[in-house]
Chains A and B, each alone.
Chain A
Amino acid sequence: MTKLWWAQIKSVIRLEMKKTLFARRGLWIYVLALMPVLLFTAHTVFTSRDRERSRQIASRSEKPLTYQDLLAIKPGMTSEEVIAQLGKPPMRFHWDERRPIEGGSLKVIPHESYHYSDGVNDLYIDIAEGKANSIHIREGYNLAQDSVVFAGVFQFFYLRLAIFFGCLGIFMNLFRGEVLDKSLHFYFLAPIRRDVLMVGKFLAGLLATCIIFVTSELLQMIAFNWQFSPNVRDLYLYQNHGLAQSAAYLGITALACLGYGAFFLAAGILFRNPILPAAAILGWEAINPFLPALLKKISVIYYLKSLCPVDIPSPPGTPPLFALLVSNPDPVSTPVAILGIVIVAAMVLYVSSLQVQQMEINYTTE
C-alpha cells in the first residue's frame, strides 16, 4: 500500500511542480525571494568599489600604514604630529568655516581634511586651527557588524515577509487556487485517497518553496561573502562558525517553508477567503512575544527565532515593543525547536487531512 501511495504522491508532485514553479501569477514570489540577493549584491558591488578606492589611497601614502597606525591618531593632536605619525596625507582638502562671534561679525576658521588608508580601513581627520578636531575610522571589514546586518535582513525581511508571503502564495493555492480555477475535480475524481492527495500537494509546495527560498538564501550568502578577501572569507567560514551559520540559515529557511506551508495549506482548505486567515496568521506570528508560554509554542516564528544563529542586539533607545520583537527571551534548544516545528506542522496537516475528506466540489458557491 505504501508503494502505491508513494507512486501516487510522486504523480501529484509532478503535476503540481510544473504548475507552481512556472505559473505567471507566481512571479511576485520570485521577486520577493530575490530582493535580498539584489540587496547583498549591491552591497558587495559598492563595498568592492570603496575597497579599490582605499587601496589607491594607501598606495599613494608616504609609508605603508597599519590599522594600529590609524588607531593611534587621537583628537587634539596637531597636524604636524599627525603627519609625523602617518606621513603626508595622500588626500587632503581645505575648507573655511565662517563662525559668528560677538558683535555680529564672522570669524573664519580654516579646516583641513586628511584622508589615510591602510588599504582596507579608511581614516578621516578634520583639522581645525591646526589641531585634530574630529576623527572617523571607516572599517573595511566588519564581519561582526555585517553578520548582524545579514541576520537582521534574514529575520525581519526574509523570514517574516518573503518566506511568509511566498508560502502564502504557493500553499494557499494548492487547493483554494484550484477551486477558483474550477479544476480541483480532476484530482477528486481520481482513484487516490484525499489525504494522500493532500500529502502530495503539500510535498510539492514544500519542494517548490524550498527550491525558491533555499536557492535565494544560498545566493544571498554567496553575495554576502563575496565582498571579503579569500583570507577573511576562509577565516569567517572555517574558524568563526560561518559555515555552521550558513547551514543554520538554510535549515531555518526549509523549516520556515515547512511550518508556514502547513498553516497556509490548512487555511486554503478551511477558508474560502484567503486574506482573512493570512492576516490572522500574520497577526498571530507578530504578537508571539506577548503570548503566554503555552500559546507561544503554537506558532512557527517562536521556533525559528530560537534557531537563528546570530542574535540581533537592540541598540540603545530602541522602543520596547520593537526590542521585544527582536529579542527571544525564552529560546528553546535546537532539537526542541526543530521537533517543535515538525510537530506543529504535523498537527496542522492532520487537521487538514480530516477537512479535505469532507471537502465538496461546488464551484458555483465559491
Chain B
Amino acid sequence: MTGVIKNDCILFEDVSKFYGEILGVNRVNLSIPPGVTSLVGPNGSGKTTLMNLMTGLVRPTRGRIHVLGLNPSEPEKLFKVLGYSTQFDSFPKGLTGFQFVCSYLRLGGTDSQTAEQLAWRAIERVNLIEAANRNVAGYSKGMRQRIRLAQALCNNPRVLVLDEPLNGLDPLARAEMIALFRTVAAEGCYVIISSHILHEVDAISDQVVMLSNGYVVAEGPIHGLRSEIHEQPAQILIRCDRPRELASEVLKSELTMEVRIHADGRGLLIKTLDADRFYLTLNRIALNGVEIESVAPADDDANSVYEYLIGTEEVVR
C-alpha cells in the first residue's frame, strides 16, 4: 500500500497517536470507502482521535493518513472537500448562527454573496432557519449541534466527519438528520460518524469500524463482520405457525446447538455454528410441510457484533 496514494478513499497506514504516554490509537490500518461508516467503541476507545487525525487537528505520532489523496496537514486543500462537525461545544464569541457558518465560508476565501447563499442553504438543510439570526450563545444543545452540522455541510464536502452528531437532538430531529446523512451518502459522499448508540449505527451505517482501547478490532459491513465471528454461534429467528413441531425437526440436525421457543409463542430462536448449512437444512424441513413465515439472523446487528467483539462496556443500545 505504501508509495501509491489512493485518491478514492480515506486511508490510514499504520497510524499511531500517543498523547505523551497515553495511547490514542495504535497501528491503525484502514481504508474507508464511500457511504456511511460508523466508528463504534466505548469512551476512550479512540473514535475522536481517529477523526481528529483525519482532519489534521492532531498529528500522527507514526504512520500516514490520506483523505482522497490529500494530506490532513494541508487544511487549505483538505477542508475544500471535507467538513467536520466536532464534539467541541464552544463557538467564536458574539456570532449568530448565520454568521458562524458564513464566517467559516469567508475564511476559506468564498466571496460574500456566494458565502451567504451557501450558508443559508446549509442552515436550511439542518432546519435552523428561524434561529439563524440569533446569537449561538443562546442556542439549546440540539441547536448548537445542528449549526455545527450546517457548518460541516456548507462547503458541499465530499467527506463529512461527524463526531456524535445525534447528541442532544430530539427524536424527530434525529430521524431528520439520519435521513440527511443517508441522502449525502447516496450522493457518493463519505460520511464518517462516531456514535455510542448502536441501534442508530444499524440504521445509518453501510460499514462500521469497531474500536477498543485505541485498536481497531473490526471493520467492514455489519453483516460481513458477524459472519467472520466463528467462535460465537449464529442466532436465527424463525417465524412459523407450529413452533413446537419445527423445534423437534431442527433438533434432529447436528448443526443445531440450541433451540428456544420465542416468548410470543410464534417462532423459534435457534443457535447454530454454521448458519449457511443450517439454512439448507431448513429448506428441507419446510418442504416437509411446516409453514415458515420468515427466517432472519437475530444477531448480525451492530449491537451483537459489538458485544461479541468488545464486550458490554459503556455503550447505549
Contact = CB atoms under 8 A, between A and B. Distances in A.
A8 B103 CA distance: 10
B76 A182 contact: no
A192 B75 contact: yes
Choose among A23, A191, A361 the residue with the greatest number of B CB atoms under 10 Å from its CB: A191
A222 to B, nearest CB: 32
Contacts of B56: 188
Contact of B57 (A182, A185, A190, A358): A185
Contacts of B108: 8, 190-192
Contacts of B76: 191-193, 196
B155 interface: yes
Contact of A194 (B75, B80, B89, B104): B75
B107 A12 contact: yes
Contact of A11 (B55, B94, B103, B155): B103
Contacts of A185: 57, 86, 88
A15 interface: yes
A360 B59 CA distance: 7
Interface of A is mostly: helix
B106 interface: yes
Interface in A167-205: 181-183, 185-194, 196
A19 interface: yes
Given A182-B88, A357-B73, A187 B107 contact: yes
B79 interface: yes
Chain B interface, DSSP helix/strand/loop, else mixed:
loop
A294 B59 CA distance: 38
A196 B73 CA distance: 14
Given A191-B109, A192-B108, A362 B58 contact: yes
Interface size for chain B: under 10, 10 to 19, 20 to 34, or 35 or more residues? 20 to 34
B52 A191 contact: no
Contacts of A363: 88
Contacts of B55: 189
Contacts of A186: 91-92, 104
Contact of A365 (B19, B52, B57): B19
B53 to A, nearest CB: 10
12 contacts: A7-B109, A12-B107, A181-B93, A185-B57, A187-B107, A188-B57, A189-B104, A190-B75, A191-B79, A191-B155, A193-B76, A360-B57
User: What are the 7 closest A-B residue pairs judged by CB atoms, nearest first?
Assistant: A191-B79, A191-B108, A190-B107, A182-B90, A11-B106, A361-B57, A183-B90
Interface of A: 4, 7-8, 11-12, 14-15, 18-19, 22-23, 181-183, 185-194, 196, 357-358, 360-363, 365
Given A19-B92, A181-B93, A189-B104, 11 more contacts: A4-B109, A8-B107, A15-B92, A181-B90, A183-B88, A190-B75, A190-B79, A191-B78, A191-B155, A360-B58, A363-B88
